[in-house]
Amino acid sequence: MEKAEARIKDLEEELSLAALEANAERLTELNEAYEQAKTRVEELLMEWEQLADVAS
């Protein structure tokens, strides 16, 4: 999960840079990757919560 969260942080930084450069194509690519990364973190959190429930 740490890797997934770190990926989000990296993408946020890249999005900021692309916005400063007004690079619309790059912004579109990064936004798609960002949304996928956020979804993955949410999935991992749900799995973690389910495992925590089973363990208790």
Joined tokens for residue 12: 């946020």
- What is the model's pLDDT at position 32? 97
pLDDT at 1 over 90: no
What's this model's pTM, rounded to 2 decimal places? 0.78
Q: Residue 34: pLDDT above 90?
A: yes
DSSP state of 22: T
Mean pLDDT of 26-39: 96
What mean pLDDT comes out for the span 24-48?
Answer: 95
CA 45 to the chain's CA centroid: 12
Nearest to 26 by CA among 34, 11, 35, 15: 15
Report the pLDDT averaged over residues 19-42.
95
Please give the pLDDT value at position 56. Answer: 80
Burial (CB count within 10 angstroms: exposed 0-12, middle 13-18, buried 19+), residue 30:
buried
